[in-house]
Structure 1
Amino acid sequence: MRSYSFICGCGHSGTSLLANMFASHPALYIPLIETNCFLVRAEARSRWKALRAEARASKLKHFAEKTPRHVRRISLIRRLVPDARFILMVRDGRDVAASFIRRKGSAEIGARRWLADNRLVRAEEGAPDVFVLRYEDLIADPEGALRGICEFTGFDFASEMLRFHETERLWFGVPELRRGTGEDGVQHALLRNWQINQPIFDGRGSWRDLLGPEDLALFDEDEARQMLAYFGYV
């Protein structure tokens, strides 16, 4: 294969949307699940070997994979996949926290995970094999963002990527295209799958209607406030 790309970053930051755009590329193979291939270090080598064989069997030129938590395994992936490219998704932490309310019933869980995972993104930014993409920039200019990513990863932009929603796909092992409630488990998978099969939905600033004063106080803490500012969020 000509290229290997990994989409990762904090969950609820647009990784699934970007992955479904990738799935529309006619020369690219991407599993319609989060493989978690590298999360268990002792199993990573054998699991990657099997996943790579699956990709090669597709006869397509390029490979991509999406597991948000692989942001915590970038060094390991570099060792096992020397030519790997990483697209690290970033989103306003307040919107991430708001999204976690539906799934976990708690903004704090989302805020803490956002902070932990984006420490890793921040540490990787500027590396030659890393492309940091803000969810907000993908929403504002999908074609521009996708062209930049394609150039970085080494495959040609395809207009089908902008028409991702015209082909129904069942991600995360769900049996049907149905809007779930978003609660953790099957309902969360159903909702995510339904969302990424729709035309682009602008979720920027949803925190304004969903977060209360106690939730917003999480982002008044020094590190969280600095992280927001670092990635361009006022």
Structure 2
Amino acid sequence: MESGIDKIMPENAKGMFTIKSLVIHKVTFRFLFKYLLKRAVTKIEDWFFRPVRITVNTVFVVGCGHSGTTLLAAKLGRHNDILSIGKESNLFLPYKNSLYMSSRILAEWQDFALSDKKQCVLEKTPKHLYCVDRISKVAPDHKMVAMIRNPLDTVSSLNKRFHDLDLCIDRWINDNNQVLALAEKEQVLVVRFEDLTMSPEKVFGEVCRFAGLSYDPAILDAGETAYLDNETTSSNMRVRSRQVSRKITQNIDGWKASLSEDQARYVIQRTRVVAEQLGYALRDEPGGPLG
């Protein structure tokens, strides 16, 4: 399912286009030209790939950014039977890697896991949400955990980073529409951030079973994860690496500290249809718009 990767959508704003698989999905024509050129090169290499013989389970964590993907991947990656990649590899994004290169790197991860006597390889790139077809060609037996989070908390968190409310709302809608498109697939497990933080033992137990592993309660302890805080990490991921090393606590309605009442109503208005399809009931009353 590659809608959003090669389907370029013109924006109403003059000279802007949307590519849903990009972190900042609104791009100029100049960027679009470079993107298409790079995509053309990787398409040539795509012809030479071979599917990877899967020797250990392979799990990809995806979802809209700031929905808890790093939290889930970091804690799950503490499991003794998991080889965690520990960074967003962008492995299957077509403008980053060809299928040929993706297959070679994934084969190396499989070898590393076997040599370490691990039963599972775990990777987290939120925008792999749009790469299911590409991943399936290389690793037909992969599994995918898709994180969702209510739009108010997600959009307010995104907005602290990008300072563009409409961009953040669009991203939440685009990415969660894609989650809805994938939700019925047998190889996809959808996890709510609110459930993860409210009942972490229960949710991680379900995720471990989905990944073909026994549950290890030690993954929830505070402590170092594969997402290290160092000088080579982006500023956003340095913040995340510190947050996910702590014990899990509930973090719901944090939007109230950064969104005004009018902004909250605007987010609700624009996201309501998708939010309700995901099971979130949004109310318009001041002081309590999230049901």
TM over 0.5: yes
The amino acid of 2:256's aligned partner reads R
TM (normalized to structure 2)? 0.71
Q: Which residue of 2 aligns with 1:9?
A: 63
Other-structure match for 2:73 = 19
Aligned to 1:228: 275
Aligned to 1:201: 249
SS of 2:263's equivalent in the other structure is helix
Match of 1:141 in 2: 199
- Pick the aligned partner of 1:48 from 98, 103, 106: 103
User: 1:170: Cα distance to partner?
Assistant: 5.8
Could you tell me how far apart the structure 1 residues matched to 2:243 and 2:166 are?
Answer: 23
Query: What amino acid does structure 2 have at the position aligned with 1:192?
Result: R
Q: Could you give the per-residue CA deviations for residues 118-165 of structure 1, whole angstroms, max 9, x where no partner exists?
A: 1110011121111000000101110110111111121111112122x2
Q: 1:100 aligns with which of 142, 153, 158?
A: 158
1:187 paired to 2:235: yes
2:61 aligned counterpart, secondary structure: strand
Letter in 1 for 2:275: L
Q: Does 1:36 align with 2:94?
A: no
Aligned partner letter, 2:269: D
Q: Which residue of 1 aligns with 2:215?
A: 157
For 2:79, what is the secondary structure of its paired residue?
A: coil
Q: How many residues align?
A: 222
Query: Of the two structures, which has the highest relative contact order with CA contacts closer than 8 Å and spacing of 6 or more?
Result: 1
| Residue type of the alignment partner of 2:139 | V
Q: Does 1:211 align with 2:259?
A: yes
- Structure 1 contact 94–111 (Cα < 8 Å) conserved: no
**Could you say which structure has the higher helix fraction?**
1
* Aligned residues of 1:32 and 1:170 also touching (Cα < 8 A): yes
* Rg larger for: 2
Deviation digits for residues 32-69 of structure 1, max 9, x if unmatched? 11000000265133133223313422421211110000
Q: Please tell me whether residue 171 in structure 1 is matched to residue 222 in structure 2.
A: no
Q: Distance in 1 between matches of 2:56 and 2:226?
A: 26
SS of 1:218's equivalent? helix
Q: TM-score, normalization: structure 1? A: 0.88
Contact 2:56–2:110 (8 Å) recurs in 1? no
Determine the structure 1 residue equivalent to 2:32: none
> Residues 60-81 of structure 1, C-alpha deviation per residue, up to 9 Å, x if partnerless?
1211110000001012111211
Structure 2, unaligned runs of 5 or more:
1-54, 282-291
**Aligned-partner Cα distance in 2 for 1:7–1:107:** 25
SS at match of 2:92: coil
